Amino acid sequence: MALFGTDGVRGLANDTLTAELALDLAVAAAHILAEVGAFNHENNERPRAIVGQDSRASGEFLEAAVISGLASAGVDVYRVGVLPTPAIAHLVAATGADLGVMISASHNPMPDNGIKFFAKGGGKLDDKLEAAIEARLNEPWQRPTGLGVGRVHFDETAKERYLAHLLSTLKIELKGLKIVVDCANGAASTVASEVYKRAGAEVIAISASPTGWNINENCGSTHMENLIAAVKSNGADLGIAHDGDADRCLAVDANGEVIDGDFIMAILAADWKVPTVVGTVMSNLGFIKAMGELGIKVEKTAVGDRYVLENMLANDHILGGEQSGHIIMRDFANTGDGVLTALQLMATMAKTGKSLTELAGVMQRFPQVLINVDQVDKSKLTSATKLTAAVKEHEASLGDSGRILIRASGTESLVRVMVEAQSLDTAEAIAQALASIVRSELK
């Protein structure tokens, strides 16, 4: 089984994702990137890496392991502490660093953790580089000594430089907007409330007190109930929900209705009048139809913001993202940034004078049912003949009024069954029937 998923290496911290593995990954990454020429310094300077983490307690020992691996391989390390994943990507690009490492499991539960690598320029490593790193784990190597070993520094200016970058993307103040932000007790807690206030908004922050143990616990973008209640009780104009590492943004309008990534992309695409927007195979059919009515083309990729970005770079598109709230705006960043997304969404509200409810009227969401089927062997998915036949039968019955997508999760041991239809009852019935076949055929 491949070690890297769609977004780095993830696992149960101190079980499948150990300090030893983290150290070995760091060493292998340093070796591979040096060999492909990613480390290129004049005057024989050592390569530089930026290392950050979200608020999980396990991030502390994993950070120590990653730093040890990099420094022992001759890389100078700049620690930035708890910051969002997109902050690491931005800082790598802005400083000319050779490598970035983010220790986070994003929206996953607290016991999990993960390691994401960013190449020079701030982009995520491609599949070939990740495979090369994995193939070189635990290899014998010539260790540098003396002046050859790396040094470790703490960059106290990193947070402020990231905040300045976020604010530089705004062309309008957010005065008059009252918002509630759910920081998921994660990395957003260090920056989100502060930057929204500096932008002029009135801010109420919830789940913004990380303890190391409470990240994503009944809060954030995967648990919107508290945010919805807070928006209503405070009479806020909108709510913003981030995940553990703040690369996602979901919103809630003043009525408590969830505005997901498809809606956010539709709002921005309509406002910016882009010719093309890049989505994924999970993009809602209502989003695709709405963009078509506006004359905007939708290109679809595999799930994962890295694949969205690859398409955007290859075809020079400026807007793309996922229903889950990973939104990429190439004019401002080279990865999904939840805080940046929230700022641009609120800027559209401020510029147009429209409520989020009004702006979201640009599209009508098709009812969608998503069932995560666990305790199955997802490797059997491609050879599941009964499932394939059932999918074809249901697709024929739906025609142009719905669609079906069944895929193995890239980050968890799950098979996801997604069905869209014009009625919720139809989508639910088909999804349940297909999930039942998944459970029986992939056991």
Using DSSP, state whether 242 is helix, strand or coil: coil
CA dist., res. 104 & res. 8, Å (int): 9
Name the residue with higher pLDDT: 103 or 368. 103
Residue 5 banded pLDDT, cuts 50, 70, 90: confident
**What are the tens digits of pLDDT across the range 299-316?**
999 888 888 999 999 999
The model's pTM: 0.89
Contact 228, 256 (CB under 8 A): yes
375: left (phi over 0), alpha (psi -120 to 50) or beta: left
- pLDDT for residue 413: 75
The closest of 198, 2, 169, 180 to 86, measured between CA atoms, is 169
Rounded distance between C-alpha atoms, residue 133 and residue 129, angstroms: 6
What is the average pLDDT across 273-288? 94
**Domain positions in the chain:** 9-158, 169-360, 368-441
Q: 3-class DSSP state for residue 407?
A: strand
- Rounded Cα distance, 64 and 53, in Å: 11
Mean per-residue pLDDT for 106-115?
A: 96
Q: Do domains 9-158 and 169-360 have the same CATH topology?
A: yes
Fold of 368-441: TATA-Binding Protein (3.30.310)
* Secondary element (H or E) of residue 61: helix 58-72
Q: Is the alpha carbon torsion for 377, 379, 380, 381 positive or negative?
A: positive
Quick one: what percent of the chain has pLDDT higher than 90?
84
Where residue 281 falls among pLDDT bands split at 50, 70, 90?
confident
Q: Name the token pair of 416.
A: 């996801």
Banded pLDDT at 43 (limits 50, 70, 90): low
The answer on pLDDT for 247 being more than 60 is yes
Joined together, the tokens standing for residue 173 give: 């103040």
Structure-token pair, residue 143: 């260790």
CATH architecture type of domain 9-158: 3-Layer(aba) Sandwich (3.40)
Residue 185 has pLDDT above 70, yes or no: yes
Tokens at residue 343, please? Answer: 């700022």
Q: What does the pLDDT look like over 307-355, one tens digit per residue?
A: 899 999 999 999 999 999 999 999 999 899 999 999 999 999 999 999 9
| Measured distance CA(360)–CA(224) in Å, rounded | 18
Q: Mind telling me the catalytic residues?
A: 106
pLDDT in tens, 171-181: 999 999 999 99
CATH number 3.40.120.10 is the correct assignment for the domain at 169-360: yes
Does the structure show a pLDDT above 60 at 371?
A: yes
- Sheet containing 297-301: which strands, arranged edge to edge? 297-301, 276-280, 319-321, 327-329
Q: Look over the chain and give the mean of its residue pLDDT values, rounded to a whole number.
A: 94
pLDDT score at 412: 74
Question: Alpha-carbon torsion 153, 159, 161, 166, what sign?
Answer: positive
